[in-house]
Every structure is written in structure tokens, then in C-alpha cells.
């Protein structure tokens, strides 16, 4: 057995051939150092609870100001937020940026910068467009992201750039008309909804996220260790795919029901290019089953939508669509399983 690598695929295959019991299988994983130990589970739980705690603290601070807004003076509002920012920065410095607590403190401070801008805008009613808030927030936390070297801060920065682009487009370059203009009173979520009805805007946001992913992967390959994590890339790739999948589905389904939409072929073209690129890179160069699954899900959604368009008038179409969907999911699962086995064997 010395010629085989001790990975999950080989151990599982060996256990299946020799009909290992559950206890023997667990012992084999333990001997191969593949079974997480107690300290590994404690580390994962510690990180999860730390991230959850930071999120709850930031949400609590925001809710505190919203609830006690009328009872706090202007200097009290600014003083409390600035005290929180300084405290978070000092805690990150004292605890160390490489520690979990230090990284969480730095992220909390970066989030409070946005709360500070929101409070400033509410107090002085400057009349500035909301995109300026997100842009200033992103610029101010950029040095923190560079120094902090953590994926969470960079993800916050990229999301702020996304919001800045969307807000600037919908407020300055191409303000929405009709019902969309009335719906803007509901805030950024409506502007995000407007994204799927404008091919140019969705394409612009798509390129912003693709640039972030390509830059991240390029630097990670060049040996920057802290950028070798996966979840930043996974989130940004998911966002990039979403920005072009949604307009593509709208084009297909609107045409199915005879509706006219102000969309062009830019989104389907970008979706095809992104899917092909991801299927190649994240299969052969940097295997990532999550991203591959997202790509296959996008393909399944498009194919199913096209099938709905073709078979909509047929009474037996529901059965055909069900069979088609089952076949696509089964084929995707089979293919992903093969990719997982090849990546584990290093081939």
C-alpha cells in the first residue's frame, strides 16, 4: 500500500473493497491522519463563534443608535461610534492581526466606519448621494484591508465597490424611470433589483467582480499565503455569476410569455464566457467543487428555462421537464464526483 496516497478517496475505496465496519473505517481515517481531532473541532467552533459574536455586536450597535436616536445628542452619537472604532483598532493591535480575535476586532472597526458615515449623513443631512457614502467607506477601509491581510475585510471592500457602482449608475448615469423611480424609496435593495433589468449595469458589476477574482487568484498563485483561502473567491464568483444569470433568465422567460424587456445579449455572452472559464480553471488549475457546482447550477437553470420556452404549450411538458431536470442534476453530480476523485488523487 505504500504506493497509494493516504487521502479520503483511497481510504474510502479500500474500506469499500474490504467491507470495513464503521469502527474500522473510523480507525483507518484516524491512522491516516484524516480524522479531525478534538483541537481541530474546537478551533473551527472558536472561529465560528468569534465571527458570530462580531456580527451580533455590530448589529447591536446599529440597532442601539436606531432605537435611541432621539435621546442621544450629536456629540454622544459621534463619540460612542468613534470610541468603538478606536477600541476595535487598539484591540486588533494588541491581540495581533494574525489572531482570530485581532482579525475580528479589525473587521468590527471597519464596519463601524460605515455606521459613522450613516450617522453623519443623518445628522447633517448633507444631501450627498448614497453612492458617495459607500465610496468613502471603501476608500477609508482600504488601508485597513491592506494591513489586515484578511479575506473578510477584502470581501467587505469589494461589496462596497459593487454598491458604489450600482448606486452611481442608478442615481447619476441612468436613473430609473416609472415604477422603479417610485420604488427607490425602499433603498439599496431596490437598486439591486434594478440590476437584473439592465444588461449594461449587470455587465459592469460582473467585470468588477471578475477583476477582483482574477487579481486574487493571480496573487495567490504568486505565493501570498493568506490569499490561498477559498471562501473569498467563492463568494465573489457567486456574485459575478448571479449578475449575469438573472438577466439571462429574464430574457428567456420574458420571451416565453411574449413580454418585451430592455435587455440585450451581453449577459448571456458573459455568462457563457464565465462558465467556460470557471469550468476549466477550477477543474484543472485550482480545483474547487463549490464554484463548479455554481457553474453547473447556472447551466441547469438556463437549459431548463429554454426547455420551458419550447415545451410550454405541450400538455405533457411537465413530465418532460421533470425528466430533463433529474437527468441534468444526476449528470452534474456524476461529473462532480469524478472531478473530486481526480483532484484527490492529484491527477
- Over the stretch 248-269, which tens digit does the pLDDT of each residue have? 888 887 754 444 455 678 888 9
pLDDT at 1: 42
- Average pLDDT value for residue range 148-166: 90
pLDDT tens figures, 37-65: 566 667 677 777 777 777 787 777 777 77
pLDDT-above-90 percentage for the chain: 20
Q: What is the pTM of this model?
A: 0.78
- Domains of the chain, residue spans: 196-347
Neighbours of 274 (CB within 10 A): 22
Residue 207 has pLDDT above 90, yes or no: yes
Which residue stretches of 68-129 are H helix?
74-95, 100-124
pLDDT at 172: 77
Residue 150 has pLDDT above 60, yes or no: yes
Residue 163 has pLDDT above 50, yes or no: yes
Record the cell numbers describing residue 261, joined without a space: 424587456
pLDDT tens figures, 107-139: 888 988 888 888 877 777 666 677 888 898 999
Distance in angstroms (rounded) separating the CA atoms of residues 180 and 189:
12
- Average pLDDT value for residue range 22-38: 62
Record the cell numbers describing residue 102, joined without a space: 485581532
Sign, CA torsion 169/171/173/179: positive
Amino acid at each position: 500500500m505504500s504506493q497509494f496516497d493516504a487521502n479520503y478517496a483511497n481510504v474510502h475505496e479500500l474500506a469499500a473493497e474490504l467491507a470495513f465496519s464503521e469502527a474500522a473505517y473510523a480507525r483507518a481515517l484516524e491512522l491516516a491522519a484524516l480524522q479531525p481531532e478534538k483541537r481541530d473541532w474546537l478551533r473551527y467552533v472558536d472561529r465560528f463563534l468569534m465571527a458570530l459574536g462580531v456580527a451580533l455586536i455590530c448589529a447591536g450597535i446599529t440597532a442601539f443608535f436606531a432605537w435611541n436616536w432621539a435621546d442621544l445628542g450629536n456629540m454622544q452619537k459621534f463619540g460612542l461610534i468613534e470610541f468603538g472604532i478606536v477600541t476595535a483598532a487598539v484591540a486588533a493591535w494588541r491581540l495581533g492581526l494574525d489572531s482570530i480575535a485581532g482579525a475580528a476586532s479589525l473587521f468590527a472597526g471597519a464596519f463601524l466606519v460605515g455606521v459613522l458615515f450613516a450617522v453623519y449623513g443623518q445628522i447633517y443631512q448633507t444631501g450627498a448621494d448614497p453612492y458617495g457614502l459607500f465610496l468613502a467607506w471603501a476608500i477609508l477601509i482600504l488601508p485597513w484591508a491592506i494591513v489586515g491581510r484578511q479575506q473578510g475585510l477584502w470581501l467587505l471592500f469589494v461589496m462596497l465597490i459593487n454598491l458604489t457602482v450600482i448606486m452611481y449608475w442608478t442615481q447619476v448615469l441612468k436613473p430609473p424611470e416609472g415604477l422603479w423611480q417610485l420604488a427607490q424609496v425602499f433603498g439599496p435593495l431596490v437598486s439591486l433589483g434594478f440590476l437584473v433589468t439592465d444588461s449594461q449595469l449587470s455587465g459592469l458589476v460582473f467585470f468588477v467582480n471578475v477583476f477582483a477574482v482574477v487579481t486574487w487568484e493571480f496573487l495567490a498563485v504568486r505565493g501570498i499565503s493568506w490569499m490561498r483561502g477559498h471562501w473569498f473567491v467563492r463568494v465573489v464568483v457567486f456574485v459575478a455569476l448571479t449578475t449575469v444569470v438573472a438577466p439571462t433568465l429574464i430574457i428567456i422567460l420574458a420571451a416565453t410569455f411574449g413580454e418585451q424587456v430592455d435587455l440585450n445579449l451581453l449577459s448571456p455572452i458573459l455568462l457563457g464566457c464565465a462558465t467556460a472559464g470557471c469550468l476549466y480553471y477550477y477543474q484543472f488549475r485550482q480545483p474547487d467543487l463549490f464554484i463548479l457546482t455554481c457553474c453547473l447550477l447556472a447551466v441547469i437553470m438556463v437549459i431548463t428555462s429554454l426547455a420551458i420556452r419550447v415545451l410550454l404549450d405541450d400538455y405533457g411538458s411537465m413530465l418532460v421537464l421533470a425528466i430533463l431536470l433529474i437527468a441534468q442534476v444526476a449528470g452534474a453530480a456524476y461529473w462532480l464526483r469524478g472531478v473530486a476523485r481526480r483532484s484527490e488523487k492529484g491527477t
